[in-house]
Amino acid sequence: MRILLALLSGGLFGAGLFISGMTDTTKVQGWLDVFGQWDPTLAFVMGGAMIPMAIAWRLTIGRRPVVGGEFPKAPRADIDNRLVIGSVLFGVGWGLAGLCPGPSLASLSYGGWGGFVFLAAMLIGMGLAPTITARLDRTPAAA
Protein backbone atom coordinates (compact mmCIF):
# COMPACT_ATOMS: atom_id res chain seq x y z
CA MET A 1 0.00 0.00 0.00
CA ARG A 2 2.81 2.42 0.94
CA ILE A 3 4.50 1.62 -2.37
CA LEU A 4 1.31 2.10 -4.41
CA LEU A 5 0.58 5.45 -2.77
CA ALA A 6 4.20 6.55 -3.32
CA LEU A 7 3.90 5.58 -7.01
CA LEU A 8 0.64 7.54 -7.30
CA SER A 9 2.08 10.57 -5.55
CA GLY A 10 5.33 10.56 -7.54
CA GLY A 11 3.39 10.10 -10.78
CA LEU A 12 1.04 12.98 -10.02
CA PHE A 13 4.00 15.15 -9.01
CA GLY A 14 5.71 14.37 -12.33
CA ALA A 15 2.54 15.04 -14.34
CA GLY A 16 2.00 18.33 -12.51
CA LEU A 17 5.56 19.47 -13.12
CA PHE A 18 5.30 18.45 -16.79
CA ILE A 19 1.98 20.25 -17.41
CA SER A 20 2.83 23.37 -15.42
CA GLY A 21 5.94 24.09 -17.48
CA MET A 22 8.18 23.96 -14.40
CA THR A 23 10.63 21.59 -16.07
CA ASP A 24 11.39 24.39 -18.55
CA THR A 25 14.38 26.17 -17.02
CA THR A 26 13.64 29.36 -18.98
CA LYS A 27 10.27 29.68 -17.23
CA VAL A 28 11.81 29.25 -13.76
CA GLN A 29 14.64 31.68 -14.52
CA GLY A 30 12.09 33.97 -16.16
CA TRP A 31 10.13 34.13 -12.91
CA LEU A 32 13.27 34.90 -10.89
CA ASP A 33 14.40 37.52 -13.40
CA VAL A 34 12.40 40.53 -12.22
CA PHE A 35 14.66 42.88 -14.22
CA GLY A 36 14.25 40.95 -17.48
CA GLN A 37 11.21 39.55 -19.31
CA TRP A 38 9.31 38.57 -16.15
CA ASP A 39 7.30 35.33 -16.41
CA PRO A 40 4.53 34.99 -13.78
CA THR A 41 3.85 31.25 -14.35
CA LEU A 42 5.70 29.96 -11.26
CA ALA A 43 3.47 32.01 -8.95
CA PHE A 44 0.37 30.30 -10.39
CA VAL A 45 1.97 26.87 -9.96
CA MET A 46 2.88 27.57 -6.32
CA GLY A 47 -0.54 29.10 -5.62
CA GLY A 48 -2.34 26.19 -7.27
CA ALA A 49 -0.32 23.61 -5.32
CA MET A 50 -1.11 25.31 -2.00
CA ILE A 51 -4.87 24.72 -2.36
CA PRO A 52 -5.01 20.88 -2.18
CA MET A 53 -2.11 20.90 0.30
CA ALA A 54 -3.80 23.33 2.70
CA ILE A 55 -6.96 21.19 2.57
CA ALA A 56 -4.87 18.06 3.18
CA TRP A 57 -3.22 19.57 6.28
CA ARG A 58 -6.68 20.41 7.68
CA LEU A 59 -7.82 16.85 7.02
CA THR A 60 -4.96 15.48 9.13
CA ILE A 61 -6.56 16.90 12.28
CA GLY A 62 -8.02 14.08 14.39
CA ARG A 63 -7.14 11.43 11.76
CA ARG A 64 -4.38 8.97 10.99
CA PRO A 65 -2.59 8.26 7.68
CA VAL A 66 -4.23 5.63 5.45
CA VAL A 67 -1.32 3.24 6.03
CA GLY A 68 -1.36 3.85 9.78
CA GLY A 69 1.22 5.50 11.99
CA GLU A 70 1.31 9.20 12.75
CA PHE A 71 1.17 12.42 10.75
CA PRO A 72 4.26 14.67 10.84
CA LYS A 73 4.71 16.56 14.09
CA ALA A 74 3.91 20.27 14.25
CA PRO A 75 6.57 22.22 12.35
CA ARG A 76 9.60 23.52 14.23
CA ALA A 77 9.60 27.28 14.68
CA ASP A 78 13.32 27.92 15.22
CA ILE A 79 15.25 29.71 12.50
CA ASP A 80 18.85 28.48 12.57
CA ASN A 81 22.00 29.01 10.51
CA ARG A 82 21.40 25.80 8.59
CA LEU A 83 18.00 26.91 7.32
CA VAL A 84 19.22 30.30 6.12
CA ILE A 85 22.64 29.29 4.73
CA GLY A 86 21.21 26.19 3.04
CA SER A 87 18.31 28.08 1.47
CA VAL A 88 20.59 30.83 0.15
CA LEU A 89 22.93 28.22 -1.37
CA PHE A 90 19.96 26.39 -2.89
CA GLY A 91 18.59 29.66 -4.32
CA VAL A 92 21.89 30.52 -5.99
CA GLY A 93 21.98 27.11 -7.72
CA TRP A 94 18.28 27.29 -8.60
CA GLY A 95 18.81 30.63 -10.33
CA LEU A 96 21.97 29.46 -12.11
CA ALA A 97 20.45 26.43 -13.82
CA GLY A 98 16.69 26.94 -13.37
CA LEU A 99 16.37 23.45 -11.88
CA CYS A 100 15.43 22.23 -8.41
CA PRO A 101 15.32 18.61 -7.17
CA GLY A 102 11.76 17.65 -8.29
CA PRO A 103 11.97 18.98 -11.88
CA SER A 104 15.53 17.66 -12.29
CA LEU A 105 14.13 14.13 -11.99
CA ALA A 106 10.83 14.80 -13.79
CA SER A 107 12.69 16.09 -16.87
CA LEU A 108 15.35 13.39 -16.95
CA SER A 109 13.88 11.77 -20.10
CA TYR A 110 14.02 14.98 -22.15
CA GLY A 111 16.67 17.08 -20.40
CA GLY A 112 19.58 15.78 -22.46
CA TRP A 113 23.13 15.49 -21.15
CA GLY A 114 22.78 18.76 -19.28
CA GLY A 115 20.06 17.25 -17.12
CA PHE A 116 22.26 14.27 -16.23
CA VAL A 117 25.23 16.49 -15.39
CA PHE A 118 23.08 18.65 -13.10
CA LEU A 119 21.56 15.57 -11.43
CA ALA A 120 24.96 13.95 -10.87
CA ALA A 121 26.33 17.14 -9.29
CA MET A 122 23.19 17.47 -7.15
CA LEU A 123 23.52 13.88 -5.88
CA ILE A 124 27.21 14.46 -5.04
CA GLY A 125 26.19 17.63 -3.19
CA MET A 126 23.57 15.69 -1.24
CA GLY A 127 26.26 13.16 -0.33
CA LEU A 128 28.57 15.93 0.92
CA ALA A 129 25.83 17.70 2.90
CA PRO A 130 25.99 15.65 6.15
CA THR A 131 29.70 16.54 6.58
CA ILE A 132 29.02 20.23 5.97
CA THR A 133 26.00 20.14 8.28
CA ALA A 134 28.07 18.63 11.09
CA ARG A 135 30.56 21.48 10.71
CA LEU A 136 27.80 24.12 10.75
CA ASP A 137 26.30 22.60 13.88
CA ARG A 138 29.64 22.98 15.67
CA THR A 139 29.75 26.70 14.84
CA PRO A 140 28.22 28.92 17.56
CA ALA A 141 24.82 30.40 16.70
CA ALA A 142 26.24 33.94 16.69
CA ALA A 143 28.64 33.14 13.85
Q: Of 34 and 143, which CB lies nearer to another protein in the complex structure?
A: 34
Binding flag, residue 110, another protein (CB under 8 A) = yes
142 burial via Cβ count (<10 Å: 0-12, 13-18, 19+): exposed
Q: Of 3 and 142, which CB lies nearer to another protein in the complex structure?
A: 3
Residues touching another protein: how many (CB under 8 A)?
119
The per-residue b/e assignment along 55-87, b for 16 or more CB within 10 angstroms, e otherwise, is eeeeeeeeeeeeeeeeeeeeeeeeeeeeeeeee
Binding flag, residue 38, another protein (CB under 8 A) = no
Which residues have C-beta within 8 Å of that of residue 27, sequence separation ≥ 6? 21, 39, 41, 42, 98
Return the residues of window 89-108 that contact another protein according to CB under 8 A: 89-108
Binding flag, residue 139, another protein (CB under 8 A) = no
Q: Residues 49-88: x/- map of binding to another protein (CB under 8 A)?
A: xxxxxxxxx-xx--xxxxxxxxxx--xxxxx--xxxxxxx
